[in-house]
Amino acid sequence: MEFMLSEEQRMLQESLTRFLASACPLDRVRKVADAEESMAEDVHRGLAELGIPGILIPEDFGGVGMGFLEAALVSEALGGAVAPVPYTATSVMVPVALMAAGSDHQKQEWLTKIASGKTRVAVGVTEQLGRRESAGINASNGRLSGSAMFVLEGMEADVFLTADSTGALHMVAGDAEGLERTKLKTIDRTRSVIELSLDQTPAEVLPGSVSNREPLLCTIDAGRLMLAADTLGAAQTMLDQAVAYAKERRQFNRPIGSFQAVKHMCAEMAAELEPCRSLVWYAAHSVRSMPEEARLMICHAKAHLSEVGQFVARTSTEVHGGMGFTDLLGLHYWFKRIGFNRQVLGGPELIREEAARVQGLVS
């Protein structure tokens, strides 16, 4: 039995990596971060031409119709390039929610627009994982009131997908009355994150999510899987940069990579990170092939990558010495992206508790 990627999957990842190397070098990332743009519009257009926004959307709605493993490979490549573009929310979480809970009309309307790359949808569901007493959204008579923190891809969004206090999912137009978005400054300036405020704002509920939390949970699972894959890509890039630097940087007329201490640091990073790749792949594969295992494996992937990613980010920076803290190398973009991924949609402690609950180890 073949446990590696198929030829088509390898081609997908390789072609996307080449595109990002050309269209989204570090200078392009730095321009977005320094100018406080919400995203790199030119890179997003290029991804749309490659069909990335419709990676999970069935061909009947204009998408590519691929699976979660292919979506995870895309996320890994985007993390490796710290690409400042919408993906996790618009291209993965929203299609999952619509396919699980949307009406036929909603699927036809929104999936088609998302697949074209012309419509971007933000997602605000973090209040379902933990919230302030003053936060949360309440629904009444087709209108929403309240606020949601850490809404992913919110500044550039044309539409919002958010959950009310019962877990029901709603679509809200970006220009609807009573809607206000406030940009949040997080450690990761390659991501667009906002606080969403609603005041008697008209919304369209996804009928399959009423009195049924499964679509919400599937949406969160999909987001966690993509964040784990994004961390994998970012950590691999930091490891590659550390190894390359260790080969070039010389002290005492020798490359520092020849020193035993530096060798051990690079070897430990590689040993910790390599098993994470198969963990992410298996979690992505299980979504459709072994759905009874999917939630548990996604929890393991997100929690474990959060810890390993943090270790690689820290150790890679140490290998670079003082240069690792400068903007010249830009390691901090990957470092902060990994840190953001660690906490959003649940930190490792919370997710491990969920994994224990899935297995019936805690009530």
| Residue 167: CATH number of its domain | 2.40.110.10
pLDDT of amino acid 1: 47
Residue 301 near residue 225 (C-beta atoms within 8 A): yes
Q: Do residue 222 and residue 344 come from a single domain?
A: yes
**Contact indicator for 156, 198 with CB cutoff of 8 Å:** no
Cα–Cα distances in angstroms (integers) from residue 15 to residues 9, 54, 78, 252, in the given order? 10, 16, 12, 41
Considering the domain architecture, whether residues 111 and 246 belong to the same structural domain is answered as: no
Mean residue pLDDT of the chain comes to 93
pLDDT of residue 250: 83
Q: For residue 274, what is the domain's CATH number? A: 1.20.140.10
Other CB atoms within 10 Å distance of the CB of residue 86: 25
3-state secondary structure the chain: CCCCCCHHHHHHHHHHHHHHHHHCCHHHHHHHHHHCCCCCHHHHHHHHHCCHHHCCCCHHHCCCCCCHHHHHHHHHHHHHCCCCCCCHHHHHHHHHHHHHHCCHHHHHHHHHHHHHCCCCEEEECHHHCCCCCCCEEEEECCEEEEEEEEEECCCCCCEEEEECCCCCEEEEECCCCCEEEEECCCCCCCCCEEEEEEEEEECEECHHHCCCCHHHHHHHHHHHHHHHHHHHHHHHHHHHHHHHHHHHCEECCEEHHHCHHHHHHHHHHHHHHHHHHHHHHHHHHHHHHCHHHHHHHHHHHHHHHHHHHHHHHHHHHHHCHHHHHCCCCCHHHHHHHHHHHHHCCCCHHHHHHHHHHHCCCCC
Q: How many CB atoms lie within 10 A of CB 126?
A: 22
Determine, yes or no, domain membership for 289. yes
Q: Is residue 2 part of a domain?
A: no
Rounded to whole angstroms, the Cα distance separating 350 from 346 reads 6
Do 347 and 266 reside in the same domain of the chain?
yes
User: Do the domain assignments include residue 1?
Assistant: no
Answer yes or no: do 20 and 68 share one domain. yes
The encoded tokens of residue 246 equal 């260790």
Average pLDDT of the residues in 95-103: 97
The count of structural domains within the chain is: 3
Q: Are 70 and 95 in contact (CB under 8 A)?
A: no
Confidence category of residue 132, pLDDT binned at 50, 70, 90: low
Contacts of 96 (CB under 8 A, 6+ apart): 56, 218, 219, 222
**Quick check: is 154 in a domain?**
yes
Are 223 and 337 part of one and the same domain? yes
pLDDT digits (tens, 9 = 90+) for 243-252: 999 998 888 8
Phi, psi angles (nearest 5°) of residue 269: -60, -45
Domain boundary among 93, 116, 139: 116
Nearest residue to 16 (alpha-carbon basis) of 78, 106, 97: 78
Q: What would the pLDDT profile of 278-317 be if each residue is shown by its tens digit? A: 999 999 999 999 999 999 999 999 999 999 999 999 999 9
Instruction: Give me the mean pLDDT over the 177-187 stretch.
Output: 93
198 vs 89, 90, 130, 185, 203, CA distance in Å? 19, 20, 19, 20, 10
Question: Do residues 222 and 154 both lie within one domain?
Answer: no
Q: Domain containing 39 — which CATH number? A: 1.10.540.10
Check residues 15 and 328 and name the one with the higher pLDDT.
Answer: 15
pLDDT value of residue 258: 82
Looking at residue 348, its pLDDT comes to: 95
Claim to verify: residue 166 and residue 223 sit in the same structural domain: no
CB atoms within 10 A of CB 60: 11
Range of the domain at 86: 7-116
Is residue 167 located within the same domain as residue 286?
A: no
**Arithmetic mean of pLDDT, 312-331:** 91
* 292 part of a folded domain: yes
Let me know whether 261 and 309 are in one domain.
Answer: yes
Residues 231, 260: one domain? yes
For position 195, what pLDDT does the model report? 94
DSSP structure class, residue 111: I
Are both 193 and 242 inside the same structural domain?
Answer: no
Whose structure tokens read 């100018």? 35
Domain identity same for 284 and 339: yes
